[in-house]
Structure formats: structure tokens, C-alpha cells
Amino acid sequence: PILHNAMKTAPSFCLLLSLHHNISRRCSSIKPRRLFSAIKSSNYINMSYEQDGAEAKEIAKYLPYFPFKGIPKFYDIGGFLEKPEVFQQIVDIFAARYDSIGIDAVAGLDARGFILGPPIALALKKPFIMMRKKGKMPNSISSADYNVEYGKRAGLTVQRDKISKGDRVLIIDDLVATGGTLSSAVSLVHLCGGTVVECACVVEIKMFIDPPADSGL
């Protein structure tokens, strides 16, 4: 299967298209559940958020998709980035969730995680950590190479002094399909002695999480 076993140790929270569960479809011990967040901002006060609920469907209107790299629906976060009120809504939902759960740092994945992670980290008043492609940062350690839905990639890197032993780290990216990139990030946090609280994404591609029997995935 194309799904990555490393994700078994890191539960996920995806804003759209998925309920809360471990990335691997072989892990069913965590039951889907509603999530209620006290969101406090100029636009959202004491509202509840339900994954795949009415608010999620409204946000999804600003996530267009196109055929790209052999994938029939490649989601483009540029749709909500040009709508400040929708972008703020997404930041508020994530910030409220992780303010309640409690984290020590936000790690964003190269490159779209660098867009989503900093405003969430600022809202929580927590450090933001870059997890970059190889060859981009000094004083860094690397994860192993990994597969994604459209090929193979070199591992991610993080600077050695950014995650301390016992740190509770939130990993964030725009989308999860096979879990390959997130698995690479999880392994980096573990190499540094940290704990992954959750892997957070805006979109989860269900065709990779629970693919049809004849799909070959």
C-alpha cells in the first residue's frame, strides 16, 4: 500500500474532507467525532466547528482543484489565500483547537506549510519551525527519502537546535494524500526527541486514505 506506516504514531486533524483519525486506514481505534472549538476573533465568537460540517463546506468553496501531475483533483490553496476573511477563519479554527490541546511549537512543511504555519504560530504565541527540502539549511538533520502520490522525494531537514527533547510539536501542511511528506516530518521530530501532537492539514484526499479495492493503492 502507498500509505505510510510512520503515520500510525501521529493522529491527524484535517479541516476539510475527513474526520479525525489516524492517517493509516489500518488504525481504527480512534473513532470519528465532532470537534467543538471556542473560536474568539472579530468574526467568530463561541462558534463550534464540525469537520465536514456546514462551515467546512463553505470554506471548501474557496479550494479549487485542477488536473496536475497525473492527479485528477490537485487542490489549490491560492483560492482561500486571496480571501482574507476565509484565510483568517481557517487560522482561527486551527488556533482555537491547538490552544485547547496545548503545543510548544508549530512545524511547517516546505513550502505551503510556510504559508499556513506562521499565522497559526503567531496566534498561539509559539515558535515556528521550518522543515525544508535538503540542501536549504545549515546545521540540519535529514529524514530518509520518501514516496508521494506522484513520485519519490528526498527527505526533509530541520535545524538541530529547533526541537528539544520532550517538545510537543504540531506539524502543519496544506494537504495530505499518501502521508509520505508528513511521515518524513514525524520522523524528524522523533529524531530530535520531540513528540508530535498532531499533523494538521486543510484538505485530506480520501481516495488515498480509503482507496477502492481495484485502485492499486
Of residues 97, 112, 132, 198, which has the active-site annotation? 112
**How far is Cα 6 from Cα 188, in angstroms, rounded to an integer?**
11
Q: In the annotation, is 149 catalytic? A: yes
Q: What's the distance, CA 40 to chain centroid?
A: 22
**How far is Cα 198 from Cα 109, in angstroms, rounded to an integer?**
14
φ/ψ (deg, to 5) at 10: -135, 100
Q: In the annotation, is 82 catalytic? A: no
CB 202 within 8 A of CB 112: no
Of residues 55, 97, 132, 149, which has the active-site annotation? 149
**Torsion angle of alpha carbons 171, 82, 148, 184, nearest 10°?**
-20
Active site residues: 112, 149
